[in-house]
Structure 1
Amino acid sequence: MIWQEIKVTTTHAAADAVANLFHEMGFGGVVIEDPQLVERYTHSAGWDCYELPPEVLQGDHVTVKGYLPLTDKPSGEINEEPPRLTELRQRLVQLWAMFEGEDGQVSLGQIDEDDWAQAWKKYYHPVKISDKIVIKPSWENYSTASDQIVIDLDPGMAFGTGTHPTTVHCLRALERYIRGGELVADVGTGSGILAIAAAKLGAAEVLAVDLDQLATSIAAENIRLNGVADRVRVLTGDLLEPLADRQGFDLIVGNLVAPIVRRLGPSAWEKLKPGGLFIGAGIIQGRLSEVLEELTGIGFELVEITDEGEWSTVVVSRPGPGPDTETR
C-alpha cells in the first residue's frame, strides 16, 4: 500500500499537541523526530548504540509525521488532497492559536508501507529505563539480570518506543508506587507500555484505554507478547468512559497532554479510591501551573512533580485512608 506522509515542522512546545491531533483524526501512525530528545538520550546511559541519520539529529524544531492510506495506486497518480488532510490544515491553524501564535510548516510525501515498516527497526535497541525496567524491541535478544523487568515492545505503526521523557517519568513512577495487587487504569495507552509495566510490577488488574483503534490493536498484541493478557484488558473509547461500571482504582495514569490531563482530572477523582494516586504526564512546564490548579481545585493533594527539560509529570493523591504514598 502507498501512504501519504504528512510532515508538520513545529516547536517543542506544540509537538505533542500536534501528535495528539493526528491520533484524534485517525491517522495511521505517528512519528515524532525531536533532535533535542535524541541528543539527550544518545549522550546518556539510557540507549544502547543508537545510530541515527544526521537529518534526525540536527535542527531546532520538531518534526511530527502522520500517515494516510492512498490505496494501491502507483506513486505520482494521486492528485487530489484527501478531505482529512484539508481538515488537518484547518485544525492546525486553531492549534497554533492555542500556543500563542506559534506556527508550523506542513509538507507532503509518499512512502511504500513495506519499505517503511522495516527501515526504522535498525535504529531501535534495548533501553534501560531504570535499574529495574528495560524496554527491548521484540526482535532483539537481551541478557536479563535476575531482578530486572523486561518489556518487549513492537510499536508497529502507532506511537513511540517508550523513550520519551514523559513515558520514562510514568514508568519510574509506576515502579515507585506499585506494591502489588492494585487495580490500575492506563488512559491513552498507545503501545500499551505503561499497562504492561504495571502488570509486570505486580498490579492485579490493569484496564488500558485508548481512543485510537490502531493503538488498541497494537497494545493488545504487545500485551499478549509480554504474557500479561490474563491481567490486562484493552478497551477503545474516550478517557475513562469505557470504565463506567468500574470504581475503586488504586492508581490511574495518563500520559497525554496538559489540556487532556486537566479534562481527565474530575473523572479520575471519581474513579479513585481514597488514598489512590493519579499520575498525569505530557505536561509542558509552561502549562504546569494550570494543571496543578485544576487538580488541587478538585481536591487532589500533590505528592510529587518530576521535571526533565520542558516536560513535567505530576503525581497527586485523593485524600483519605489508603496505602502510604512514600516510595518503596
Structure 2
Amino acid sequence: MNWLKVEVLVHPEAAEVLSAAMLDLSPSGIQVDEQGRNMLITAYIPDSSFIDDARLTVQDTLLTAASQGLQTGPGLITVTSITDEDWVENYKKHFKPIRIGRFLIKPSWEAVEASPGDLVIRLDPGLAFGTGSHPTTEGCLIFLQEFMTGGETVFDLGTGSGILSIAAAKLGARRVIAIDNDPQAITVARENAEKNGVADKIEFSVADFAAISTIGADLMVANLTAPLIIDFLEDIPGKVQGLKILIASGIMVEQRAGVIRALGKAGFTVEEILTKGEWVSLVSKLV
C-alpha cells in the first residue's frame, strides 16, 4: 500500500488545533517535531485518493486558527507518497528510548534493559504526539517527579497520548482524571494505559474543560498552549476543588510573562520555572 505523508510547518500557537485535525485524517497517529521556532506536524494517510481532502482540511484548520487570533506561522503544506516499508522505518527512526529522570520511555520494538528504580512507559508506533521527546512534555514529566509524593488525585487536561496520566499513575497517584476533546486521542490514551498496566487508575473521558462542572484534584497538569492556559485559568479555582499544584506547559519564552501575570490574577503563585530552548514549563500553587 502507498501512503501519503502530509507535513505542515506551523507556529506553535496553532500546533494543537492542527494536530487534532490531522489526527482525524490519520489512523496511525501523528509526529510533532520542533523545527527552529516552528513545529513540523506529520500525518500518514493510507489512501492517496484523499489528497485533496487532506489539503482542504489543513488549509481550513489554519484559516480557522488565524481567525481565532492564533499565529499560524509559515503554514507550509508538503504531501509525498511513501511505501509501507518507508512508513515503518520512519517511525523507528523517530522513536528511540528516552530517559527523563526516573522515566524510561520506549517503543515496543526497542530492547532496552531497565535499571533498578526505572519507571518504564511503553508507547508504540503512530503515537508520536506526546512521547516525551518534546520539551513541553519533558518539563511536565520532570515536575511530576518533583512534586508528586504519592496518593494524589491528578487531573490531566488535554491528555493526548495519555503519557502524563500514565506517568502520574506510575508515580503513585491514587486516582487520575484525564480529559481531551478529541475522541481518537482518548482511544489512544486508554490503549496506552492498558499496555502499561495502569488503566484501572485512570478515568479517561471525551470532554471540554469549559463544559465540566466541578471535580476534585490535588494536582493538575495542563500541557497545552499559552492562549488556552490563560483562557482556562480564571475558571480553574472554581472547577478544580482542593487543587494545590498546577503544572503548566506548552508556553513559549516570549509568552512566559503573560502567563505569569494571568496566574497571579487567578490566585496562583509561581514556584518554579523550567526553560528548555524556546519552551517554558512552570509550577504554581493556589494561594
What TM bracket, shorter-length normalisation? 0.7 to 0.9
Query: In 2, distance between residues paired with 1:310 and 1:87?
Result: 27
Partner in structure 1 of residue 222 of structure 2 = 254
| Structure 1 residue 154 corresponds to structure 2 residue 140 | no
Give the residue type in structure 1 aligned to 2:160: G
| Structure 1 residue 209 corresponds to structure 2 residue 151 | no
Cα displacement (A) at 1:201: 0.4
Cα displacement (A) at 1:193: 0.7
Cα displacement (A) at 1:185: 0.8
Cα displacement (A) at 1:312: 0.8
Q: Percent identical across equivalent pairs?
A: 34
Partner in structure 2 of residue 17 of structure 1 = 13
Aligned residues: CA RMSD: 2.8
TM-score (norm 1): 0.76
Query: In 1, distance between residues paired with 2:149 and 2:169?
Result: 11
Total equivalences in the alignment:
282
Q: Deviations over 1:260-299 (max 9, x none)?
A: 1112223322244456111110000111111111121011
Query: In 1, distance between residues paired with 2:193 and 2:45?
Result: 26
Give the residue type in structure 2 aligned to 1:197: A
Q: How does 1:119-268 map to 2 (within 5 A)?
A: 119-130=90-101, 132-154=102-124, 156-157=126-127, 159-239=129-209, 241=211, 243-244=212-213, 246-268=214-236
Kindly indicate whether the alpha-carbon contact (under 8 Å) linking 1:155 and 1:191 is maintained by their aligned counterparts in 2.
no
Q: Deviations over 1:38-68 (max 9, x none)?
A: xxxxxxxxxxxxxxxxxxxxxx864322455
Kindly indicate whether the alpha-carbon contact (under 8 Å) linking 2:33 and 2:134 is maintained by their aligned counterparts in 1.
no
Give the residue type in structure 1 aligned to 2:190: A
Cα displacement (A) at 1:311: 0.7
Residue 57 (structure 2) aligned to one of 72, 84, 95: 84
Kindly indicate whether the alpha-carbon contact (under 8 Å) linking 1:18 and 1:64 is maintained by their aligned counterparts in 2.
no
Query: In 2, distance between residues paired with 1:178 and 1:140?
Result: 29
| Structure 1 residue 105 corresponds to structure 2 residue 82 | no
Q: Deviations over 1:9-34 (max 9, x none)?
A: 34xxx1x3332122343342332233
Query: In 2, distance between residues paired with 1:213 and 1:2?
Result: 26
Larger Rg: 1
Change in Cα spacing, 1:200 to 1:312, as seen in structure 2 (3 Å) is same
Query: In 2, distance between residues paired with 1:201 and 1:181?
Result: 9
Query: In 2, distance between residues paired with 1:35 and 1:261?
Result: 23
TM-score (norm 2): 0.86
Partner in structure 1 of residue 40 of structure 2 = 63
Kindly indicate whether the alpha-carbon contact (under 8 Å) linking 2:13 and 2:70 is maintained by their aligned counterparts in 1.
no
Q: Please, which runs of 5 or more residues in structure 2 have no aligned partner?
A: none
Kindly indicate whether the alpha-carbon contact (under 8 Å) linking 2:127 and 2:161 is maintained by their aligned counterparts in 1.
no
Query: In 1, distance between residues paired with 2:151 and 2:167?
Result: 14
Partner in structure 1 of residue 285 of structure 2 = 317
Q: Please, which runs of 5 or more residues in structure 1 have no aligned partner?
A: 37-59, 320-328
Change in Cα spacing, 1:31 to 1:250, as seen in structure 2 (3 Å) is same
Q: Which secondary structure does the structure 1 equivalent of 2:9 belong to?
A: strand
Query: In 2, distance between residues paired with 1:275 and 1:200?
Result: 20
| Structure 1 residue 302 corresponds to structure 2 residue 270 | yes
The worse-fitting range, judged by mean Cα deviation, of 172-181 and 208-217 is: 208-217
Q: Which secondary structure does the structure 2 equivalent of 1:34 belong to?
A: strand
Give the residue type in structure 1 aligned to 2:204: V
Q: Deviations over 1:226-251 (max 9, x none)?
A: 1111111211122364x53x533100
Cα displacement (A) at 1:211: 1.6
Q: By percentage of residues, which structure has more strand? A: 2
Cα displacement (A) at 1:301: 1.5
Cα displacement (A) at 1:181: 0.8
